Structure 1
């Protein structure tokens, strides 16, 4: 066998090995998809080169149901963002109304109405679909009405970079677009600080 023949034989064997390996891994991936097997636990890989994000652990709802310091309004699309904020506010010893925390046996709509009438602060989570949600639009109108009566402080909470409606844009919003970052923590701390400020204090 000449040197050229030996080189050709090595190339052929290498090509055969690569083909077999590729077939094996392709079959293995196909079988994982068919069986529903996911990434190896603890690998931190979502199978597509990205990182698997850990689901948010919702905080425990508060023990009592009112009276409330803060009413948090949100659409279904912003439910996780609202729950995260409400948990931070509760950790700061504030009483927060969140409709998903209404206890069994109570009527969410009636509890929302009661909370809207007694809360000192209203935070409305503004995302992409906020103004197309009829319930949230009603809550928005009620919060603004109480704000202009002088017995509630209204705060827009941005969850996206979408522009705010004109009547919300004239208020100083809190930026909640980057949960899990120092910026988010500073914004929440700023909100907590002004909520806990005694009524009638300068700047309140």
Structure 2
């Protein structure tokens, strides 16, 4: 099978290391038996071919690429060169690059953000079944939605691999810890069966750049449905998904399954599902209203836009409190990974939590006086260390200090820290607000995007900033 004039004649180009050649040959045979048009150099090259030219042409003529990952794959220069060419084709023209693990291979860093196919320890009928499933995908068939995701997929703690685009279609994004996957996928089926667009980790496909895909889905979410449980509270991945949704000012639809509410969502309305039931008619009507309110909306709602969901209950289930040491460790990790907006949102949450104001979502002057010195110092040290002294409370107070605590004292602080260019400038949504960051002393901003659906959000932000900075003034 040859390519002619750039026409696609291969479903997949298979790259491998010499040590994995026999195993790869078996995989190629199984794929061919299921009707896949395979380029496998042992079978596809002819005597007299100029190898480099034929490989380049074959990659251009393929819709998919498979990188077989064995224990020695990245030790072979030729395998590294083929992989680089596949990555370039993936970025340049959308070739779907699928890592396939075999033997005793560990997932290498180069494939760490893509959803892979795990053939390790598979043989006989299990190998054949997995090959048939892969062949179906390579021929353009649908990959069945999985009930949850592999452990490695549940990891947002890696840097973004490409800039965001507007490619994801708005949908309800369901986030959950592994222990809650069964309920989560039942909920996905319920929403889908009701005609609502929905997405979860189970929708990821082989070859997807899953970090980019998850971030895109959260960026465009109609609402982020978070299943709250002790396991979710301990999940770094769920924490990051919440912070990413807050970064884009998304609406949240928390569902309490067990234990206490997530501290990051303490000021949000929530659905009590501790009896294990799926959302009833009233909750489904709220989801439908969220869907209808966002159908024609392409950007984050402006601050002050009335919320669709009701206010939190008068006597809600308490929100869990996180140990200060563990929370500061999370903040340190976010700053080390340059997840600045996530770190900014967590900083505000830690200060609110320290004085019991999570449910309110903002600080009063009296709350500021009760902020622990150890927490303020710890936060400031982490921000200053990670930014070389550019950010942090110390950088802010050196640039501008709170005056006597009048409401009007907020304006010179906001101009001084670069939160606005002049007193007349309107403050935009959180995402647009932080996209202009870079000014000395910009972070922490002490903003809470979850409060910005209310008309008095600006006053709440003003009071929070003054409460903290008056406390800083007392420190000297």
**Separation (CA, whole Å) in 1 of partners of 2:204 and 2:102:** 25
Residue 177 of structure 1: how far off its partner (Å): 2.6
**1:91 equivalenced with 2:33 (yes/no):** yes
TM-score normalized by the length of structure 1? 0.62
SS in 1 for 2:79: helix
CA contact (8 A) 1:174 1:188 kept: no
Structure 1 residue 181 corresponds to structure 2 residue 124: yes
The answer for the alignment partner of 2:140 in structure 1 is: 197
The match for 1:59 is: none
* Secondary structure in structure 2 of the residue aligned to 1:149: helix
Tell me by how many angstroms 1:107 deviates: 2.0
1:119-157 deviations in Å (ceiling 9; x for gaps): 101001111110011111011111112112242011111
Runs of 4+ aligned structure 1 residues displaced above 4 Å come to none
How far apart, CA to CA, are the structure 2 residues paired with 1:115 and 1:65? Answer: 8
Tell me by how many angstroms 1:196 deviates.
Answer: 1.6
Distance in 1 between the 2:74 and 2:110 partners? 12
Residue 92 (structure 2) aligned to one of 149, 160, 163: 149
Matches within 5 A, 1:47-58: none
Distance, in Å, in 1 between the alignment partners of 2:132 and 2:141 is: 16
> Which of 172, 189, 195 pairs up with 2:115?
172
CA distance in 2, matches of 1:120, 1:76: 23
Contact preservation (8 Å) 2:16, 2:69: yes
Separation in structure 2 between the aligned mates of residue 107 and residue 170 of structure 1, nearest angstrom: 33
> Is the CA contact 2:12–2:62 (under 8 Å) kept in the aligned structure 1?
yes
Change in 2 beyond 3 A, CA 1:75/1:87: same
Instruction: State the alpha-carbon separation in 1 of the partners of residues 14 and 40 from structure 2.
Output: 6
Residue aligning to 2:56? 113
Q: Which residue of 2 is the match for residue 17 of structure 1?
A: none
Pair 1:130 & 2:73 matched: yes
Quote the Cα distance in structure 1 between the aligned partners of 2:79 and 2:41: 11
CA distance in 2, matches of 1:132, 1:169: 17
CA distance in 1, matches of 2:33, 2:133: 14
Residue correspondence of structure 1 range 5-84 to structure 2 within 5 A: 64-66=1-3, 67-84=9-26
CA displacement at 1:110 relative to structure 2: 1.6
SS in 1 for 2:10: coil
- 1:22-49 per-position Cα deviation (integer Å, ceiling 9, x unaligned): xxxxxxxxxxxxxxxxxxxxxxxxxxxx
Q: For this pair of structures, how many residues does the alignment match? A: 139
Higher relative contact order (CA 8 A, sep 6+): 1
CA distance in 1, matches of 2:93, 2:133: 22
Aligned-partner Cα distance in 2 for 1:88–1:137: 25
- State which drifts further: 98-107 or 117-126: 98-107
Rg larger in 1 or in 2? 1
Q: Which runs of 5+ in 2 are unaligned?
A: 4-8, 143-202, 206-476
C-alpha separation in 2, matches of 1:108 and 1:92: 27
- Which residue pairs with 2:101 in the alignment? 158
